[in-house]
Amino acid sequence: MRASLRRGRTWIVVAVALLAGALVLVALQGAIRAPGPPLAADDPAPGGAQALARVLADRGVEVRQVRSLDAALAEARRGATVFVHDGLGVLDRARIGELAAVADAIVVARPDFASLEVLAPGVRLAGAVDGAPGAAGCAVPAADRAGTLSDGQRLLTIDDDAAASGFTGCFPSGDGFAVVAGTAPDGAEVVLVGATTPFANESIDEAGNAALAVGLLGARDEVVWYLPGPGDADAAEAPTLAELTPGWVSPVLVLLVVATIAAGIWRGRRFGPLVVEDLPVHVPASETGEGRARLYARSSARLRAIDQIRIGTIRRLSAVLRLPRSADVDAVVVSAAQATGQPAASVRALLVDAVPQDDRELVRLARDLDGLERAVHAAIAPDPSLDATDPTGRRT
């Protein structure tokens, strides 16, 4: 057992290292990755928005989180404020237009190009502000109560056409604004918040973020918290696998298939019979014994190896001592002890009880067994060096 552990300690160390690395990776992912999507109303992680949802609920606002466009459309028709954060960018212009056509009020956190083109034509993305933006400076009640916003805001610009259609900006920084409000072409009241910081758990308590978020989403008794999922994407407009695959992939795949088939034919050929000799093949007993001994040595099966030697020794001693086939080991021990004059306990320990602890002891036991067998032969069989015709018994 110890020898097996010594031989396999390298693989054991590798397995333990891989297991430890997997556990560390799982722990890091659990600590870094949010349990839910960004700005989820039931997510307590730093990137979630559970704090805002609970504040709204305490103020009597019913917050219903949905993950499909159909559910959002159904709730919007009832007059609820629609809060949208399309972090994956799955909504196309047609779906955003469907939502704008039935909603009375829409608040969009970190809008993308499609949302701006449908809800606020003429409003564009303008990067991020360095530090905190300026004071509200607009007539939007929620922004006016907030006063200021924290660092990390993203900016939106308003061109002349958007300004002429009624869009106004709050919290300016240069030519951009952190919040833009106006009326969409379909008639919905739209508020575009450039960043997610006013809504996220980790930053909602900074500056006037909480006042802005509560003011925008708490104006009505119901809020539809809509986080689009992959199921809202238009599968018909999604690129096919052939469109996403580079042109060189197909020839390489064909070449790999041809090479695999050729390698299989090459390695699978048989040049003549596997065994030249006519079966059954005769294997010398010495090769069998040597192979079995190597297997015992490789697996450190010392006790099994010495037992095989003992079995052969006991069988030969039984034949030399003229014992019947039914004789047990104890009979062989007694007869061998009587023939050699050795103590029966020593003979029994040698033939049965002794257990080798290492290779050196295994070799010693094998030599002692050979010596016992020679001693029995010398005691039982006549000495071939004595001349039987010489009455004096002198050696020849």
Which of 15-19, 100-104, 133-137 has the weakest average pLDDT? 15-19
Q: Is pLDDT larger for residue 259 or for residue 380?
A: 259
Q: Is pLDDT larger for residue 344 or for residue 389?
A: 344
- CA R_g for the chain: 45
Alpha carbon separation from 96 to 21, 101, 102, 280 (Å, rounded): 44, 9, 10, 81
Most confident of the following: 141-150, 344-353, 354-363:
141-150
Tell me, what amino acid is at 242? A
The mean pLDDT of 190-205, rounded to a whole number, is 95
**Cβ neighbours of residue 351 closer than 8 Å, sequence gap 6 or more:** 310, 313, 314, 329, 332, 333, 336, 369, 372
Integer Cα distance of 63 and 65 in angstroms: 6
CA 112 centroid distance within chain: 33
Which residue in the block uniquely carries the two structure tokens 């009505």?
Answer: 220
Q: Which ranges in 241-389 belong to alpha helices (H)? A: 241-244, 249-268, 285-298, 302-320, 329-340, 344-348, 359-380
Tell me, what amino acid is at 53? A
Q: Is the pLDDT of residue 4 over 80?
A: no
pLDDT at 33: 47
Helix (H, G, I), strand (E, B) or coil at 367: helix
Taking only the tens place, the pLDDT of each residue in 303-328 is 888 888 889 899 998 988 888 888 88
The mean pLDDT of 165-178, rounded to a whole number, is 95
pLDDT at 220: 92
What is the average pLDDT score of the chain?
Answer: 84
What is the per-residue burial (b if ≥16 Cβ within 10 Å, else e) of 122-139?
A: bbbbbeebeebbebbebe
% the chain with pLDDT above 70: 84
Confidence of residue 35 (pLDDT cuts 50, 70, 90): low
Integer Cα distance of 158 and 164 in angstroms: 10
Using an 8 Å Cβ cutoff, are 220 and 105 in contact? yes
Q: Is the pLDDT of residue 389 over 90?
A: no
Q: Is the pLDDT of residue 29 over 60?
A: no
List % helix, strand, coil for the chain (3-state, nearest 5).
45, 15, 40
The mean pLDDT of 95-108, rounded to a whole number, is 94
Q: Is the pLDDT of residue 272 over 90?
A: no
The mean pLDDT of 186-195, rounded to a whole number, is 94
Confidence of residue 231 (pLDDT cuts 50, 70, 90): confident
The mean pLDDT of 20-24, rounded to a whole number, is 79
Q: Which of 180, 146, 155 is nearest to 166 (CA)?
A: 180
Tell me, what amino acid is at 18? L
pLDDT at 281: 62
Q: Is pLDDT larger for residue 288 or for residue 146?
A: 146
Which of 123-127, 209-213, 356-360 has the weakest average pLDDT? 356-360
Q: Where are the domains of the chain?
A: 50-232, 292-380
Phi, psi of 262 (to 5 degrees): -65, -40
- What is the crossing angle of helices 302-320 and 285-298, to 10°? 140
Taking only the tens place, the pLDDT of each residue in 68-97 is 999 999 999 999 999 999 988 889 899 999
CA 128 centroid distance within chain: 36
- What is the crossing angle of helices 329-340 and 359-380, to 10°? 70
Which residues partner with 154 through β-bridges? 128
Most confident of the following: 99-103, 343-347, 357-361:
99-103
pLDDT at 396: 43
What token pair was written down for 182? Answer: 């106006």
**Cβ neighbours of residue 183 closer than 8 Å, sequence gap 6 or more:** 165, 166, 167, 189, 190
Confidence of residue 234 (pLDDT cuts 50, 70, 90): low
Instruction: Tell me how crowded residue 366 is: count the other CB atoms within 10 A of its CB.
Output: 16
pLDDT at 77: 92
Integer Cα distance of 116 and 192 in angstroms: 9
Overall size of the chain counted in residues: 396
Q: Is the pLDDT of residue 31 over 80?
A: no
Q: CA angle 273-278-283, nearest 5°?
A: 105
Q: Is the pLDDT of residue 385 over 60?
A: no
Integer Cα distance of 383 and 1 in angstroms: 46
Q: CA angle 235-238-244, nearest 5°?
A: 140
**Cβ neighbours of residue 144 closer than 8 Å, sequence gap 6 or more:** 136, 138
Integer Cα distance of 185 and 106 in angstroms: 13
Q: Is the pLDDT of residue 198 over 90?
A: yes
Q: Which of 83, 57, 68, 73 is nearest to 199 (CA)?
A: 83
Q: Which helix (H) or strand (E) holds 292?
A: helix 285-298
